[in-house]
Structure 1
Amino acid sequence: MSAHLPPPRASDPALFGRVAVLLGGTSSEREVSLDSGRNVLEALRARGVDAHPVDGIAALVAALAEKRFDRVFNILHGQRGGGEDGVVQGLMEALGVPYTGSGVLGSALAMDKIRTKQVWLSLGLPTPGYVRLARGVDAATVHAAARDLGLPVIVKPSSEGSSVGVSRVPDEAGLDGAVELAARYPGELLMERMVVGDELTVGILGDVALPSIRIVPKGWYDYHAKYRADDTQYLCPGLDAAGEAQVGALALAAFRAAGCGGWGRVDLMRDRGTGAFFLLEVNTAPGMTSHSLVPKAAGQVGVGFEELCWRILEQTL
């Protein structure tokens, strides 16, 4: 479906009641979540919503036990105290509290890049070849896996976001250091064939794929380029009309296959040599900072930041 958004369904902020903006937490992405949360909180209040910040899951549990909120705008990022791994979604399901974003299954699955890839491959959706590495894997196995995949490769934790713990490895000399870095984070490790070409992302809002964004960093699109640098270029739409239709349909199919809903973002690569698209991952609680991509794509179709936050929240009604 192309980016033709239906009109907002609600106009009265009182319909939302008292809203918790869940932010911060204890994951490796805490600072990004705090920044996102401040922006969301300001936008909702500007539209008349009775919104209040809640830092982390423990604080949310206490607040919901006291019935202080009617619904939750979840802008926690990551796992281990973040809000993207299905844990907080399960809590809110159990308590019967409406919340933004994907449910338990979609959140948990998308947080695990390896198992997301397994689902996509089972459905014939394109994603780069990969090897699953257990924690404590020996160097010989790592080097053999890289040779089998074909260098260059990407090495990363399977369950982190925001490029945390990710390394580009052009040759075997960098493999041991890349594995050591990724192993600082919990869970399994993922070694993935590196696709050389254009980095693209597609925001999802309801059943609509927003225009793609082609990311053109000065160097590698790492944590610094995502959240701090001002020289990264974002081209939106990132493709011609035919490419937009193709990548939008693929992003929606990947999002739904992972059991996701509400809103999110699908990251892809387009191979420079063949033009083929490859799915990388799904983000079920994308950043809402000044550098974030879903707000940029929504702005391309005339949806400003305040309206975007409103549209996400109204999905809980």
Structure 2
Amino acid sequence: MKIALIYNKDIHGVINTFGMQNKEFYNEATVKKVAQSLEKAGHNVAILDGNKQIIERLENFMPKVVDGEQMGMVFNMAYGIQGESRYTHIPSMLEMLGIPYVGSSPSGHALALDKVLTKVIWKNNNLPTPDFWVFNTPEEDLSVVKFPVIVKPKMESVSFGLKVVYNEEDLRESVNFIVKEFQQQALAEQFIRGREFCVGILGNEPVETFPILEIDLNNDPDAIQTVTDKKEAPKRKICPADLPKEVTNEMVRQSIEAFKALQLRDFARVDIRMDENNNIYLLEINSMASMGETGSYPTAAKVAGYDFPKLVNKMLDVAAVRYFSNSLMSELPGEKHKKLSFNSRLRSFLRSRQQNSEKLLEKLVNIDSHVRNIEGVNKCTNIIKEELTQLGFTNEIFPQFEVGNMMYLSNSFDEKLDYLLLLPVDDFLTMPKHESYQETEHHLYGTGVWENKGGIVACISALQALRFSKLIRKTKVGILLITDSSISGKFSKNIIREKANNAKEVLSMHGGGAEGTVITSRSGSASFSYDIKLIDASAAENVTTVSQFFFKTIASIVDLSKNNPENVIAPYQSEFKSNIFKVQAYGSSKISVRFNSMEEFQQAETKIKKLVAIPRSKNRMFQTQFEGGVMRPPMVDSTLNNDLFDRVKSIANSIDARVLPEHRWSSADICNIDQHIPKIDGLGPIGGFDKQKSEYILRHSLIERALLIALLIGKK
């Protein structure tokens, strides 16, 4: 299942900074450990920042539940950025978007975060909680307060602002601090001298409780645990707590009732004080119990038999059962099968090396590899060669003088291959237009990052994962580095055909489409140049005649593809220059043709030639020149390609990755391969061009596509 793990990192990702600011954040190491725990169970996990871009990020990652796709879920660790009831912000958004998630509803979080409402509801349900008073300003009448009291913000957690006071003067000072520091009401609660406990809750129907955990106060009944204690010197935790059985049973009963009274879901932690006479008092309930590994909730869970990965996946499971009425826990390796699945091992390896992969991508993208920049292209191919040499690949160089050198690498001395991988290196943008590598939390940008270089890095990462799994030698792989892709494979065509004829299947690493597509067919390409020149300068009106013929011809050529879904014909670089006084006229146009079958192209070519032909009545007035032809044939949709796609889709389903077939209206090197060889393109990372025409890939898809490639070519 696809799992989006949402937490808060960028607190500036808002339109305006306004109102109460969040002071509660997860350590990134904890977030990554939760993600790794989910991945161990075979889930496809993306870590997302819960700021104003979260909807776009979820759209890019989550399945759309079409074509039988499994719905994804959110593992919510986002405490919110600002404002009141901040715990509710992400759940409310997820409710609106229609995405199921782990944890309580917005209303449950709102009640639990508001300590005053919580206590009112508990009292109405006959649950014991200390007496309390609420203050808006330090100038209010405090005479009704029975000291000592513990003062805290009305809507904070993690013990922020906590202080025990014994007189009116200190109380006014504490109220003043809380109102100014936290911009909210101050809650003064009767202080219960005694011992402190936590009860961890997991599940819905039935509700499970962990063994009761006691915070060790060193036998000091007046001690409390502050936020500083939790961060810098956490107090020792005793679990299970040493309590009489009847007290334990009552504490558990009250905790479950407290959980249900607020209509909370999935998990929570109840904080309790017990006085010296064993009277129980419910203090508060945390609807987003901390997952910090040394915290009370995971500590008690471990005593209950849940190690950290098992706890995380059980939390996901109880939410999944609530939504879908079926369990996911079968996907988590049990006690007798602690070895991770093959897919999970590869995914964990790839995630652990993600930073290295992105550094390699940055290095390649920042090299100007324009097709005519031989130095830049060769620099790229040498970097790729170094990476593959470390994996046991040997190389063969095909020297070129107009473009960079082609290179063929293989991990086998046998000419016959299981897979030939095509890696285009060059691009068509000259240095002034080259865009350097840039990254955001969820996108990677730069020239070639989607068209070719993202696919190169995904391919290298996949091969590294197979070496890690000791499977790389079980598959005969050939890799062809192509340096003239942007000029239609002018020099590489024959090399590609030769190597492809020795391969069972061919894979190409251009970028996948924004909807998660891979390419099962491509259009062929043809290019023509059309020139016209006036030769009879005896009359000025001849300029008009030539002009009319040129523009009418171009318009007629464009009309050939009208209402024809199999051809796209488009003139470009058209110009016409004339001078009536000197009786001069000259026109020129390039004509691009995209076609899906050679028969369609031949018909279109015949019609174009008829249109540009000079009528007999005008053959002494002007002359024309028309030349060009097929640059690449089409990659035709075939049963062989579709069978290969079905295997890719099956693998994608096993790792919860979305894969759809695409016909792409552009030609590529793979078009030069004979139809009898199964082939597929677009296995590189998902991306495209944004509204500013900047090339990008989705960051998480670099790992996802590397895993897909590894599982496709690896033989287990």
**TM-score of the superposition, structure 1-length normalised?**
0.85
Whole-angstrom CA distance in 1 between matches of 2:86 and 2:247: 30
**Residue 227 of structure 1 pairs with residue 211 of structure 2:** no
Tell me the equivalent position of 2:587. none
2:176 equivalent among 166, 176, 180: 180
Q: Secondary structure at the match of 2:197?
A: strand
- Cα deviation 1:60-96 (Å, max 9, x = unaligned): 2222244536211011236727986322212111211
Provide the C-alpha distance between the structure 2 equivalents of 1:306 and 1:202, rounded to a whole number of angstroms. 20
Q: Which residue pairs with 1:191 in the alignment? A: 188
- Is contact 1:131–1:192 with CA below 8 Å preserved after alignment? yes
Query: Quick one: which amino acid aligns to residue 156 of structure 1?
Result: K
Query: 2:148·2:166 contact (CA, 8 Å) conserved in 1?
Result: yes
**CA distance in structure 2 between the partners assigned to 1:297 and 1:164 by the alignment:** 23
The C-alpha deviation readout for 1:229-282, integer Å capped at 9, x for no partner, is 15x11111122322221111100000110110111111111012x211111111
Judged with a 3 Å threshold, the aligned counterparts in structure 2 of structure 1 residues 31 and 93 are, in CA distance, closer, same or farther, namely: closer
Matched, 1:305 2:308: yes
Q: Which amino acid aligns with 1:187?
A: Q
What residue in structure 2 maps to residue 22 of structure 1? 6
Work out whether 1:54 is the aligned partner of 2:48.
Answer: yes
Q: Is the 8 A contact 1:33 1:76 kept in 2?
A: no
Change (3 A) 1:113 1:79: farther
Letter in 1 for 2:249: A
Q: Kindly, what percent of the aligned residue pairs are identical?
A: 27
Distance 1:162 1:237 in 2: 22
Structure 1 residues 303 and 82, CA gap change in structure 2 (3 angstroms):
farther
Amino acid in structure 2 at the alignment position of 1:261: R
Aligned-partner SS, 1:259: coil
Larger Rg: 2
Q: Which has the higher contact order (CA 8 A, sep 6+)?
A: 1
Contact 2:197 2:215 in 1 (8 A): yes
Distance 1:149 1:172, change over 3 A: closer
SS in structure 2 of the partner of residue 288 of structure 1: coil
Report the counterpart of residue 270 of structure 1 in structure 2.
274
Please, what is the CA RMSD of the aligned residues? 2.1
Contact 1:129 1:149 in 2 (8 A): no
Asked if the contact 1:29/1:162 (under 8 Å) is kept, the reply is: no
Pairing partner for 2:250 from 237, 246, 253: 246
* 2:681 alignment counterpart: none
Rounded to whole Å, the distance in 2 between the matches of 1:216 and 1:35 is 26
In structure 2, distance between residues paired with 1:157 and 1:168: 13
Question: What is the distance in 2 between the residues matched to 1:116 and 1:33?
Answer: 28
Are the counterparts in 2 of residues 157 and 188 from structure 1 also a CA contact under 8 Å? Answer: yes
Q: What do residues 115-148 of structure 1 show as CA deviations (whole Å, max 9, x unaligned)?
A: 11111111111110001212xx24352x32xxx2
Aligned pairs for 1:47-126 within 5 A: 47-66=41-60, 68=62, 70-77=72-79, 80=82, 85-126=87-128
Could you tell me which residue of structure 1 aligns to residue 25 of structure 2?
A: 31
Cα distance 1:140–1:97, how it changes in 2: closer, same or farther (>3 A)?
Answer: closer
* Gap change, CA 1:211 and 1:310, over 3 Å in 2: same
C-alpha deviation, 1:35, in angstroms: 5.0
1:40 matched to which residue of 2? 34
Which one of 287, 297, 301 corresponds to residue 290 of structure 2?
287
Greater Cα shift, 176-185 or 202-211: 176-185
Structure 2 distance, partners of 1:225, 1:197, is 18
Identify the range of structure 1 (218-227 vs 105-114) with the bigger mean alpha-carbon deviation: 218-227
Determine if the alignment matches structure 1 residue 153 to structure 2 residue 149.
yes
Residue 138 of structure 2 contacts residue 175 of structure 2 at CA under 8 Å; is this kept in 1?
Answer: no
- Separation in 2, partners of 1:83, 1:159: 8
Please state how far the C-alpha of 1:39 moved relative to its aligned partner. 2.8
The CA distance in 2 between the partners of 1:199 and 1:35, in whole Å, is 28
Residue aligned with 2:52, SS: helix
What code does the residue aligned with 2:8 have?
Answer: G
Q: Which runs of 5+ in 2 are unaligned?
A: 12-20, 64-71, 321-716
> What SS class does the counterpart of residue 139 from structure 1 fall into?
coil
Q: Distance in 1 between matches of 2:316 and 2:84?
A: 19
SS of residue matched to 1:253:
helix
Structure 2 counterpart of 1:182, one-letter code? I
Distance 2:257 2:138 in 1: 37
Counterpart position of 1:162: 158
- Does the Cα contact within 8 Å between 2:46 and 2:61 map onto a contact in 1? no
Contact 2:8 2:51 in 1 (8 A): no
Secondary structure class of the residue paired with 1:248: helix
Instruction: Output the CA distance in 1 between the equivalents of 2:28 and 2:121.
Output: 32
Going from structure 1 to structure 2, the CA distance change for 1:140 and 1:29 (only over 3 Å counts) comes to closer
- Separation (CA, whole Å) in 2 of partners of 1:259 and 1:275: 27
Q: How big is the shift at 1:209?
A: 1.4
Compute the displacement of 1:195 (Å). 0.7
